[in-house]
Amino acid sequence: MNSLSDLIKKTAEGDKNALKELYDSMSKDIYTFLLMFCKDKFTAEDALQETFISIYENAASYKIFSNPKAWILTIAKNKAVSIIRKNSRIVSNAESDTAVVQTEDSVLDKIQADMLLSVLSDDDKKIVLLHAVDGFKHREIAEIMNMPVGTVKWRYKQSIDKMKNSGNADEVFTENKNEVII
């Protein structure tokens, strides 16, 4: 398997197989990151597609000695911000006051979610986000993450308990079934 830097370099040279390999190795992590950032599955999906288009178009600008994962996630974040801005311009003037309040609420929700998720490992964050935000069933998450279903269920419950005990979770959890509202 090639390193991310090698794949980006080969992509810059026009190797579409390298781009496919890059997509296969990074798309799940990027999607999870975008989903956490955007909190909207459709925006995350659009940003993911645009990220890989941008990688293909701008791979030649990548500096070999820089951090490839950071470079890719920066592109992903910029694409997500661009999509969010574009979508916010569609809001009519009559709805703009409501949109501002919703945006402020969204930012506060994201900060609160980030605080809760910060106590978890990367894999545990993925499990929580895939289940609580994206609505995947535990067995689907087990397939995605190549883990036994029992392990996914156990890690999800442990993650919820860990977030509850972090001291930041008072208003974020519902009373029933330990579900997270993120």
SS3 letters across the chain: CCCHHHHHHHHHCCCHHHHHHHHHHHHHHHHHHHHHHHCCHHHHHHHHHHHHHHHHHHHHHCCCCCCHHHHHHHHHHHHHHHHHHHHHHCCCHHHHHHHHHHHHHHHHHHHHHHHHHCCCCHHHHHHHHHHHHCCCCHHHHHHHHCCCHHHHHHHHHHHHHHHHCCCCCCCCECCCCCCECC
- pLDDT band per the 50, 70, 90 thresholds, residue 107: low
| pLDDT > 90 fraction of the chain, expressed in percent and rounded | 23
- Res 177 pLDDT > 60: no
Write the pLDDT tens digit of every residue in 49-92: 999 999 999 888 888 767 888 888 889 988 998 888 887 765 54
Write the pLDDT tens digit of every residue in 128-147: 888 877 778 898 888 888 89
Q: What is the pTM of this model?
A: 0.51
Complete domains list, the chain, with CATH: 1-90 (1.10.1740.10), 101-182 (1.10.10.10)
